[in-house]
Amino acid sequence: MLTAYIQAAMRRAQYEILEDGSYYGEIPGFQGVYANADTLAACREELQEVLEGWIVLGLRLGHSLPIVDGIQLDVEPEIV
């Protein structure tokens, strides 16, 4: 499920070439998930790494993550 979520989010990524010739990428709806690199491939790789860290942090903090292509990631609260 996590892999499908990441893949679905990455399909939403938008990229542009900046004036200096580097690539900028972001995923709409995922605040703070962006990357900048010298090549498109490197930008995609960096963007996915940022996304993965963002997901882990969000789940650890109990944040609601965006639903992507019907996939919802939530953490069940621990029952003590």
Domain of 10 in residue numbering reads as 2-60
Provide the residue type at 29 as one letter: G
What's the total number of domains in the chain?
1
Please check whether residue 74 lies inside any domain of the structure.
Answer: no
- pLDDT tens string 34-52: 999 999 999 999 999 999 9
Please check whether residue 35 lies inside any domain of the structure.
Answer: yes
Mean pLDDT of the chain: 94
For residue 20, pLDDT over 90 is answered with: yes
pLDDT at position 74:
79
Q: Is 8 helix (H, G, I), strand (E, B) or coil?
A: helix
Please check whether residue 18 lies inside any domain of the structure.
Answer: yes
Please give the helix or strand (H or E) that residue 42 lies within, else none: helix 40-60
Give me the CATH number covering residue 37: 3.30.160.250
- pLDDT tens string 49-66: 999 999 999 999 999 999
Strand ranges, E, within the chain:
14-17, 23-26, 34-37
